[in-house]
A and B are shown apart, each in its own frame.
Chain A
């Protein structure tokens, strides 16, 4: 890591209980090669132990550290400070949008997990059904496999919620399933999982999307939810057309 040091103002969203939200500024000396989560952790460690934020893996696997950095959804463990501000600059750190704020930078992601359950792609599997537990044990549903016969569960979706936060209509449609959930349905495919048609072919399913493609732009795992939603629409339309002509 370089010896270069930057002075950066972290302007952090704070909210406790029913209190009004406000912003608190912490001025830190950081290496520009550090990641945003490093700065947030340092604030907690050396400036204010009451700061609430979520993190775990530090390598973009757990999806816990999603926040808005200068107004854009980022997974803060892979967002280098150099890429989002400059020496003497500001980093505005806010919680994800479109989820209830529990405290400071932590949001209640139930909306996402409930949606995943609706499309039979639960975030947590019973241990007996976990696909990594050995021979003969399968996921709860048949999901596509790549050429190497590896399960492609949710095409690497880490359920970070950035897509729901970035979606401009998710804030005015609380029942909207949202990009990650629709992507999970698309991956299974309506042909393989026809029961999902009723879940996604509705006003708060594929038809609520207004094609802003912000979900795809912020996704840290290249799931491309925007494309997947459009493909799911295509599948729904194909099913309808087949039904018009008497098909199944």
Chain B
């Protein structure tokens, strides 16, 4: 039978984030992709912020004052959550890639989520106590 299109039946990167029918490992993948994109966006924002240094102390100080708004602090919390999850999940995948803990990949993911939660709570408490 002639195949008319030869184009794969896929929605491309949208399928990365489609949660329907996904199991634990699939959710781990979705979170990994989301945090990767979030951290990449943050990297560029961070570089823009650092660029304020070149504009003199007044520009930098005004940005720091701006950054103490609750919305920005919430964004910083997301960066910490994303960074912790992405880094710890990277350790999980690296261990799996050495053949370590593959049958326990779900439990390892639960551990990653637990450590991310604990680390985020500690950071959040310190951040809001400091400011």
Contacts and interface: CB of A to CB of B under 8 A. Distances in A.
B99 A100 contact: no
Given A211-B93, A234-B99, A237-B98, A98 B1 contact: no
B10 interface: yes
A90 to B, nearest CB: 14
Nearest to B9: A101
A98 B9 contact: yes
B10 A172 contact: yes
A17 interface: yes
B64 interface: no
Contacts, number: 108
Interface string A68-110: 1011110000000000000000000001111111110011100
B97 A18 contact: no
Interface string A10-41: 00000001100000000000000000000000
B102 A100 contact: no
Contact of A168 (B2, B24, B29, B96): B29
Interface string A54-77: 000000000000001011110000
A213 B10 contact: no
B6 A172 contact: no
A18 B5 CA distance: 7
Contacts of B23: 213-214, 217
A171 B105 contact: no
Given A18-B5, A95-B9, A230-B96, A168 B102 contact: no
A23 to B, nearest CB: 14
A214 B10 contact: no
Contacts of A17: 4
A156 interface: no
Contact of B1 (A68, A72, A103, A237): A103
Q: Which 9 A-B pairs have the closest CB atoms?
A: A213-B25, A171-B10, A234-B99, A212-B29, A72-B21, A71-B20, A71-B21, A233-B97, A217-B23
